[in-house]
Amino acid sequence: MKELKYCPNCGKETLSYVNNRKWSCSECGLSLYNNVAAAVGLVAIIKKNNRDHILLVKRGKMPRKGFLAVPGGFVDPGESAEEAAVRECHEEIGMTPKSITYLTSATNNYQYKDIDYVTCDIFFKATFEESDGDRLLSQLKAEDSNEIQGFELHPLEKSEDIDKIPLAFKSAVVALNSMFK
């Protein structure tokens, strides 16, 4: 965790991080909470060669650059989890899901520029109009190609398959495991 020292309210060098959740100023009493952030992820099972595959994006940015994630991201202020899921899906793979249904939630740590954000990741099962894996892959396009390096389908027919996938975040491991319970 990056040490923030200067209070954004009184400007003195009297800020400390307490109880693993807030910055507190001993001079003016300011409390700045590092609250849990809400994020969403879409679990899309797609058929390829008649086998179930999971649709993943390759991360183009830190944290966990080069690792795989389910499409998703942070919930914006004023947005519902469902709205965030549809928006992130459109931004990251250029596609609007045909349906989304709640799957599970899991905690995650997201380290960005030396600050550890604790998130509550909310996962939805998603379907698309196009159900053929290869055809779907050929239609995908990220809004920002620096953020998303590419798209992959990995076999997912039993829980042991999850270990073979270089997933970026532990919450996705929990979400994929929940499919087999």
Between 30 and 118, name the residue whose CB sits nearer to Zn ion. 30
The correct pick among 4, 22, 30, 79 for binding Zn ion (CB under 5 A) is 30
Stretch that binds Zn ion, among 20-28, 32-40, 141-149, 164-172 (CB under 5 A): 20-28
Interaction between residue 9 and Zn ion (CB under 5 A): yes
**Annotation marks residue 143 as catalytic:** no
Query: Locate tokens 């650059």: which residue?
Result: 65
Q: Nearest approach, Cβ of 27 to Zn ion (angstroms)?
A: 5
Interaction between residue 27 and Zn ion (CB under 5 A): yes
Interaction between residue 28 and Zn ion (CB under 5 A): yes
Stretch that binds Zn ion, among 28-36, 37-45, 62-70, 135-143 (CB under 5 A): 28-36
Of the listed 79, 82, 91, 147, which one is catalytic?
147
Q: Nearest approach, Cβ of 24 to Zn ion (angstroms)?
A: 9
Query: Locate tokens 């309210």: which residue?
Result: 9
Beta-carbon neighbour count of residue 86 at 10 Å?
19
Stretch that binds Zn ion, among 3-11, 83-91, 115-123, 127-135 (CB under 5 A): 3-11
Between 10 and 62, name the residue whose CB sits nearer to Zn ion. 10
Angle ∠(120,168,58) on CA atoms, nearest 5: 120
Q: Give the separation between CA 63 and CA 126, rounded to whole angstroms.
A: 25
Collapsing DSSP to helix, strand or coil, 86 comes out as: helix
Interaction between residue 18 and Zn ion (CB under 5 A): no
**Which of 71, 18, 78 minimizes the C-alpha distance to 46?**
71
Q: Counting every residue, how long is the chain?
A: 181
Residue 39 near residue 122, CB atoms below 8 Å: yes
Residue 124 near residue 43, CB atoms below 8 Å: yes
Q: Can you list the alpha helix ranges (DSSP code H) found in 55-101?
A: 81-93
Q: Nearest approach, Cβ of 4 to Zn ion (angstroms)?
A: 12
Beta bridge mates, 127 = 99
Which amino acid makes up residue 103? L
Interaction between residue 24 and Zn ion (CB under 5 A): no
Q: Footprint of Zn ion on this chain (CB under 5 A)?
A: 7, 9-10, 25, 27-28, 30
Q: Which residues are catalytic?
A: 147
